[in-house]
Amino acid sequence: MASTSDIRNGLTINHNHDIFSIVEFQHVKPGKGAAFVRTKLKSLTTGRVLDHTFPAGHKIDVVRIERRKFQYLYNDDFGFHFMNSETYDQTSLEEKLIDNPQFLMEGMMVDVLFHAQKEIPLTMEMPPSVEVEVTYTEPGLKGDTATNTLKPAKVETGAEVRVPLFVNTGDKIRVDTRTGAYMERVKS
C-alpha cells in the first residue's frame, strides 16, 4: 500500500473498482487547512479521464503493469489484433482502448500494457510520432511557405491531417500520434 506522497505521472492505481493511470498531479498546500493532491486519472479499461482530489497521506492501491512489445496485424469487427513479437501470441483490443487508432499501420510495433497479476491487456500505447505518406491533398503553389495556413490532407492510413500549404501528394510527413497534428515533412 502506498500513499499520496508516492504519486507520480504514469503510476497505475486501483480506484473505485477500476484501474487508472495518473496523467498529471499537483500537490497543494493551502495557507489554511490540510494539504491535498489534485490528480487527473485515465481509466485503462474504459479510456475515460476524470479529475480526483486525494487528501494528503491517503493510502492508494498501486497496480503492477507490464509493458510488452507487440506488432499490429489488422482490425476487423472483433477489434484490433496484435502479435507478441517474442512468443507469437495474439491478442485483440477494443477500439475505445486505443488512442488515435487511425494512425495504426500494418506491421507497426506498439506497447501493450498488461495487468501483471491477471494477465489481461488493458490498453495500447503508440509511438509518439509516425511517418506517413500523403495520398491526397490540393497541390501547393511555389512560395506558399511563409504563412501559417493549413489545408486538409489524406494520409495512407486513411486519417485526415491538417498540413501546411507546401506539402504535396506523395510527400512523407511526421504526425504526432497523441494529437493528430502535423509535425514536419520528412526528408527522403
What is the pTM for the complete model shown? 0.73
End-to-end CA distance of the chain: 52
Handedness of CA 86, 92, 98, 104 (dihedral sign): positive
In this structure, how many other beta carbons lie within 10 angstroms of the beta carbon of residue 42?
Answer: 18
Q: Where in the chain is the domain with CATH 2.40.50.140?
A: 65-125, 129-185
The CATH number of the structural domain formed by 2-62 is 2.30.30.30
CATH number of 129-185: 2.40.50.140
Name residues whose C-beta falls within 8 Å of residue 176's C-beta, 6 or more positions apart in sequence: 128, 129, 182, 183
Among the CATH numbers 2.60.40.10, 3.90.190.20, 2.40.50.140, 3.20.20.70, which is that of 65-125?
Answer: 2.40.50.140
Q: Which grid cell is 183?
A: 509535425
Spatial distance between the Cα atoms of 43 and 18, rounded to a whole number of angstroms: 7
Question: Which pLDDT tens digits describe the chain residue by residue (188 residues)?
Answer: 788 888 999 899 999 988 999 999 999 999 888 999 999 998 887 778 899 999 998 999 999 989 899 999 999 988 899 999 889 989 888 888 887 889 999 999 999 888 888 888 888 888 999 999 999 998 866 666 666 788 899 999 899 999 988 888 999 999 998 888 999 989 87
Q: Where in the chain is the domain with CATH 2.30.30.30?
A: 2-62
